[in-house]
Structure 1
Amino acid sequence: MNNSLEINYIKKCLALAEARLGWGDSHDWTSYDFEKLSETIREATGVTLSVTTLKRLWGKLKYDNIPATTTLNTLAQFAGYEDWREFKRREAAAVPGVSEQPEVVMAVKTKPRRRKWEYGLAVLLPLIIVVYLLFLSNTTIRINKEDYQFRSNTTVTSGVPNSVIFTYDASAAGNEKVSISQSWDIRRKVTVPADQKEYSTIYYTPGYFRAKLIIGEQIVKEHDLMISSGGWLALAEQGSGVPVYFKKEESLKDSAIVVDETLLSAYHLPLQPSPPKLRIYNVQDLGIRNDHFTFETSLKSEYREGTAACQRVEVLILCKNDMIMIPLCAEGCVGDLVLVANGTVAKSSNANLSGFGCDLSQWVKLKVEAKNKQMDFFVNGTKAYTLSFSAEPTDIVGLQYRFQGTAAVKNTRFTKDDRVIKL
C-alpha cells in the first residue's frame, strides 16, 4: 500500500465530511464537537467511531498508522459513498491517468535531454486536468423529475416504533443508482432496486423527516414525513438502534415526566461506568412558527456521578427543516457548549455562554422568546444569551430533551400572543 496516496485520500474524505457537516474550521473543534460527530456518524451509518479515533483522524492526537479498514469504510459512508473502495475508485477516476495504484517506472542511468514540446506539455497538463475536473463537477445527468413517483404511508397513526412503507416508481432510472433517504440527511440513504415499487423501514424515534427519492446524486422527489410521539414519550438510546421505551404510567408522575434511578434499575440500565442516554419527546404539529413564540419549561437531572459530572442537558425545539438547541450544564462545564437557533450557531469558544450554567440537581426554569428575528434565552429568570437569526420561519413540530443519567421535565408550554399550548 502506498501510504502517501492513502493519506491523501483520507484528507480528501475528511474535507468532504467537513463540508457536509458545515461546522466551520475543524481546527476550532472542541471535544464536545467530536462527541457530537461520533453521535452523528453513528446515526448516519450505524457504526460508532470513538472520540479518540475521530481526533486521530482529524490530527488532534498523534497517530502515525493508517486507520483500520472498518474506520475508513465508515468515514466513506458518512461522506456519501458505499465504502472506502468506492470512494478511492471515484477519486481516482476523477483525474485522467491517475489510478489507485501508482505506476511503477524503471530507473535509467542516463537522463535524456528534454525537447521544448515536453516542457510545454508539462505546463499545459495541470491546466488540462483542472479544466477537465471543472467540466466533471458541472456535468449533471438530465433527469425529468416528472418521470418519477414517490410517497409514503405509516402503519400506525402515532407513536413508535412505526413502520413506513415507501411507494416509488423509478423505472425511468435506467442504469442509474436509485436511493431513498429517510430523513433530511441524505447520507442516511439506502439503495433500492429500480424495478421494484416498495421499500419498508422502521422509525424508532419520533420527529419530522424529509424523505427523498434520489437518482444517481440528484433528488427527484421529496415529501414531509411526520412521526408523532402520541404525547410524552421517554426512552433510553441503545447501541443496537432499538431504544428502551418506558411506559407512560411509569414515567408520568404528578404532571411531570420522570426517569429516576429506580426506573432505570427496573430496566437493568446501569449508571456506571457510563450513564444511559435518555430522550424525552413530545412531537406534534403545534400550529406555530419559530420566529414568533414563547417557550417555557422546567427540568432537572439529579445524577452527577462519574462521566455525568457536568450534568449536560440539551433542549431541542424541533422545526421543519430546522431546530433550536439550548444547552444546559453545571456551572463548571460552560466552556464547551453549543447553542443553535434557526441556522445560527454560537459556541463557547467565541461567545459567552456562561449563563447556561446552573444547578441541575434542582428544578431549572428555561424560557425562550422569539420575535423580530431575535431570540432571547432565560435561565431561572435571568437572560443567558441573545441571538439574532436570518433563516426563513418554519413550523414548530415538537420537543426533544437529551439527558445523561436521570431526567425530569414539567410545566412545559408554548405561547403565541394570547394563545397558550400546554404540553
Structure 2
Amino acid sequence: MVLVLNANAFLPPAMTKNGEEQDLQKCLTLIESQLGWGSSANWTNYDFEKLSDIFHEKTGVRLSVTTLKRIWGKLKYDSAPTLTTLNALARFAGYEDWRMLRQRQERLFTQPDTSEPVLTPTPVSSKSKSRYYWFFALIPLVLAGYALFSITAADRELDPKLFSFKADKIMTEGVPNSVVFHYNAKAARTDSVFIIQTWDMRRRTHVSKVKNYHSAIYYYPGYFNTKLIADNQIVKTHDLWITSDGWLCLAEDEPTPVYFKKEECIKNGIVEVNEDILKNYNLSLHPKAPRVRMFNQRDMGDLMSDNFVFETTVKNDFALGANACQPVQVLIQCKDDVIIIPLAAKACVGDLALAFCGNYLTSKTADLSRFGADLTQWTKLRIETIDKKASIFVNGNRAYSLQFPNKPTGIVGVQIRFNGTGAVKDTWFENNGKVTRL
C-alpha cells in the first residue's frame, strides 16, 4: 500500500509558532546527516528525485519532488507543511511522528547546561550530613519500589494467545489487490489497537478494538510483514506476499499507478516500455519523463540472499532533457531486505547510491564509477554472492565487491526502475545448479 503526498495540501503559515520552524530545520539536518550527500544547498533536481525514491523505500510514503524542494527551500511558498508531511519527515529522521520529535527537542532544549565551570565544593556541615544519611537510607526503599514496579509491568503484558490476526488477499496474484485483515483484539486493555500494513513499524492504521475487519488496497507488489499492535505491544504478525503474476509494467502516478497491458510490453522475450506505449496512455517524455517500473514477484523456492547468482540485461535509450543521466536501478527484493544496484551514463557516476542487505554506499564516499555504462546499448549486470560476499559485474567487468552484514533471507522478486523508456531481457537466478528464469 503506497501513501502519496503532494505539495498542494498545505496549511496556513504557522511554523514560527512554538519553535516549529526551528524543529523542522533540525529534522532536515538529521535527514541530511543520514543521507551523507553534503550540504543541501548543492543538491540538484536528480538528488530530490533520488530522495523521493529513498523516502519511499524507507517509509512507504511518497513525497513528490516538488514537495521536497519546497520543504528544503528550493521553491518559494508561503504555507507550512501539513501535519501529515511533518509526520512523514519525522519518521524518516527516526521518530515515531512529528509530536515525538518536538517533545524530544524540547527535552534537549530544557536540559540544564552542563558546560558551567566546576566549582570547589564547600565543607559539608553536620546538618547537611544528616540529609545524606536520610538519602542513603532511602536507597533500599527505592530499589524495592523499582523491583515491585518491574514485576507489575511484566504482569501487565498482553498474552498473544488471546489475539488473532490474518490477512486474506482477494486476488491470488496481481495488482491492484485488496486485502482483508481479520483480527480479534478484544483482549486489549484500551482502544489503542493498530495494524501495520507494511514493513515500516511507524506506519500504523488505527482500528477498532471491538470490530474484526479492516481492508486495504495494495497497488504495488511486495513482501510485507504485517503486524497487529495492542497497547504498544506486537501481539501478532502475518506475512503478506503480493505477487505480480509474471512481469508487470507500470508508470508511477498519483494517487495510483498506470498499469500497462502485458501484450503491450512483453514481446519476443523482451520486456519493454517504449515511447509508443507511453503515448497510448497520454504519458509524455517531456518536460519530465514518467517513472517506469518493471516487477517480477514470484515464488523463488529456497533462493536465499547469501548464496546466489543473478543476471539481467537492461537498456535505456532515452537520454534527452531531464533524463540525460539515464539513471537505472535494479532491485532484488527479499522477504526482510533489499538489494539496489545503480546504473547511469558514464558522465553521471558521481551521484549514485548502492544498497546491499545492510550496506549503504554513495559515490560521495565510495568509488562507484564502474557502474557507468552506455545505456543506449544493452548493458549486462551480474551479481555473484557466496557466503554473504558479493561481487557485482557490469558488462563483464567487476564494478564492486563487498560483504554484507544482515542475516540471509529469502529472495522474492526483482524490480527494475527507469525514467521514461526502458527494456529488460535475459533475467535469471541460479543457486546450487538450479536456474530460475524470469
TM-score, normalisation: structure 2? 0.77
Aligned equivalent of 1:247, options 238, 244, 261 = 261
CA distance in 2 between partners of 1:143 and 1:94 (Å): 30
- CA drift at 1:9: 3.3
- CA drift at 1:161: 1.0
Task: Tell whether 2:341 aligns with 1:332.
Answer: no
1:26-37 aligned within 5 A: 27=38, 34-37=48-51
- CA drift at 1:177: 1.9
CA distance in 1 between partners of 2:62 and 2:367 (Å): 35
User: What secondary structure, in the 3-state scheme, does the structure 2 residue paired with 1:158 have?
Assistant: coil
Aligned equivalent of 2:273, options 249, 259, 272 = 259
- CA drift at 1:28: 6.8
What does residue 53 of structure 1 align with? 70
- Deviation sequence 1:21-69 (CA, Å, 0-9, x none): 994657577656643333455674455363323434xxxx699x99604
Aligned equivalent of 1:292, options 300, 304, 307 = 307
CA distance in 1 between partners of 2:101 and 2:426 (Å): 53
User: What secondary structure, in the 3-state scheme, does the structure 2 residue paired with 1:9 have?
Assistant: helix
CA distance in 1 between partners of 2:389 and 2:33 (Å): 22
Gaps of 5+ in 1: 99-116, 118-134
What does residue 129 of structure 1 align with? none
What does residue 203 of structure 1 align with? 218
What does residue 379 of structure 2 align with? 364
- CA drift at 1:78: 4.5
Aligned residues: 375
Q: Give the letter aligned to residue 212 of structure 1.
A: K
1:314-393 aligned within 5 A: 314-393=329-408
CA distance in 2 between partners of 1:92 and 1:175 (Å): 29
1:99-114 aligned within 5 A: none
What does residue 284 of structure 2 align with? 270
What does residue 102 of structure 1 align with? none
CA distance in 2 between partners of 1:87 and 1:407 (Å): 42
CA distance in 2 between partners of 1:266 and 1:23 (Å): 41
Contact persistence 1:235–1:279 (CA under 8 A): yes
Q: 1:26 to 1:330 in 2, by over 3 A?
A: closer
Aligned equivalent of 2:317, options 268, 293, 302 = 302
What does residue 281 of structure 1 align with? 295
Contact persistence 1:206–1:227 (CA under 8 A): yes
CA distance in 2 between partners of 1:28 and 1:223 (Å): 41
Q: Give the letter aligned to residue 52 of structure 2.
A: S
Contact persistence 1:3–1:66 (CA under 8 A): no
Contact persistence 1:319–1:398 (CA under 8 A): yes
Aligned equivalent of 1:74, options 85, 88, 101 = 85
User: What secondary structure, in the 3-state scheme, does the structure 2 residue paired with 1:335 have?
Assistant: coil
Q: Give the letter aligned to residue 67 of structure 2.
A: S
CA distance in 1 between partners of 2:258 and 2:75 (Å): 38
Larger displacement relative to structure 2 (360-369 or 44-53)? 44-53
Aligned equivalent of 1:227, options 237, 242, 245 = 242
Q: 1:374 to 1:4 in 2, by over 3 A?
A: same
Q: Give the letter aligned to residue 76 of structure 1.
A: N
Aligned equivalent of 1:166, options 181, 202, 205 = 181
TM-score, normalisation: structure 1? 0.79
- CA drift at 1:182: 1.0
Q: Percent identity?
A: 42
Q: Give the letter aligned to residue 436 of structure 2.
A: I
Contact persistence 1:279–1:401 (CA under 8 A): yes
Contact persistence 2:53–2:62 (CA under 8 A): no
What does residue 204 of structure 2 align with? 189
Q: 1:395 to 1:357 in 2, by over 3 A?
A: same
CA distance in 1 between partners of 2:373 and 2:201 (Å): 37
User: What secondary structure, in the 3-state scheme, does the structure 2 residue paired with 1:361 have?
Assistant: coil
Q: 1:62 to 1:4 in 2, by over 3 A?
A: farther
What does residue 121 of structure 1 align with? none
CA distance in 2 between partners of 1:62 and 1:263 (Å): 33
CA distance in 1 between partners of 2:171 and 2:17 (Å): 52
